[in-house]
Amino acid sequence: MNEWLKIPVSLIPIFVFLAGLVFLDSYKLVRFRAIIWAIVIGAVMAGIAMAFNSWMLNALSANAAVLTRYIAPVIEESLKAAYLIYLIRARRVGFMVDAAVYGFAIGTGFAVVENIYYLTALHSSNIVLWIVRGFGTAALHGATTALLGIISKGLADRRSSQRPWVFLPGVITAIAIHALYNHFIIPPVWSTAGLLTILPLVLIVVFQRSEKATRLWLGRGMDADAELLDLIVSDRIAATPVGIYLQTLKDKFPGTMVADMLCLLRIHCELALGAKGILLMREAGIKPPVNPEITAKFEELRFLEKSLGKTGRLAMAPFLKTSRHDMWQLYTIGR
């Protein structure tokens, strides 16, 4: 087979899968720049993994079969998981859809580097080999990291925790799938076909469930934020639980500090409404306009948080929205 034909045959399938995931994301929860960055991170992790595996094979005289079946899956999946876990812990992933897109992007970068390596190392002219390598590598690295993200994000939300044990089931699942694939129990062509059959079904189900949850969250959250903001800017807040609570704080904090607490709550509501509005515009295919007031609001938010200090923020904790979805929406509008 022509040497130049091997490149698109082995690399294009990887980006086709990623493009499909991005297309399914109707809310465009992950920005294009973030996807590119995740691909770059995945490529870097692939370089580290290949260097480590080569060192294990040469310096330690490791058995090639043992390395491929047991050691490499642990090293490679752990490296790919590192950046995805960081994103979840940093609250930059709001829903399972985001985790799937980020995970597949990381796997894409990893698969690109691995396929380029095999392009230079193997000199076979068998087109079936390169089709299997292209689709197989894309499906394997993309699917394992996407599933890792889906499982980890689901457990983190369900348990309301970001402790290390929350991420273990996802990492173990990714390692197990990778190791099973590398055992070559069935021919590579059939293994690839199996991944290509199961992967789309799993991801479609996840996308449907996640988008349904997003719609419910948007509807309920927007109504609650709008109602609270209306009370804050009107004269009716004094008779509400928020107003009564702020009155009790006057005995413990200076009046100016209580006023800052109310301002902090107002800005949180305004930014939350803005973030939800951006998501609705994205779903409708409308590019949100740049709002110069957003920068000013975030500056005011940071100033108020600093002036109130930890004690003041804790006092407002019952009313400030600090769930993972709410923190993620502030990150979404802030970027």
Percentage of residues of the chain with pLDDT beyond 70: 79
CA–CA distances in Å: residue 233 to residues 206, 267, 300: 40, 11, 17
CA dist 140 and 137 (Å) reads 5
Evaluate whether 166 touches 181 at the Cβ level (below 8 Å): no
Mean pLDDT of 175-182: 90
Split at pLDDT 50, 70, 90, the class of 27 is low
Q: Which of 266, 237, 252 is nearest to 312 (CA)?
A: 252
CA dist 246 and 253 (Å) reads 10
For the chain, the domains span: 3-212, 234-334
Q: Which of 219, 199, 201, 205 is nearest to 283 (CA)?
A: 219
163-194 CB burial, b ≥16 within 10 A, e <16: eeebbeebbebbbebbbebbeeeeeeeebbbe
CA dist 325 and 217 (Å) reads 9
pLDDT at position 257? 85
Left, alpha or beta for 28 (phi > 0: left; psi -120 to 50: alpha)?
A: left
pTM: predicted TM-score of the whole model, two decimal places: 0.71
* Alpha carbon 227 to chain centroid, angstroms: 30
* Alpha carbon 223 to chain centroid, angstroms: 26
Q: 271-330 pLDDT, tens per residue?
A: 777 777 777 776 667 777 767 777 788 788 888 888 888 888 777 776 776 555 666 666
Q: Is the pLDDT of residue 154 over 60?
A: yes
166 vs 242: which has the higher pLDDT: 166
Count of other CB atoms within 10 angstroms of residue 136: 22
pLDDT at position 103? 92
Q: Is the pLDDT of residue 188 over 90?
A: no
Could you say which DSSP state residue 235 is in? S
Q: Which of 41, 20, 87 is nearest to 335 (CA)?
A: 87
Q: 83-122 pLDDT, tens per residue?
A: 999 999 888 887 788 888 899 899 989 988 988 887 777 6
CA–CA distances in Å: residue 178 to residues 103, 109, 119, 329: 15, 16, 21, 34
Split at pLDDT 50, 70, 90, the class of 162 is confident
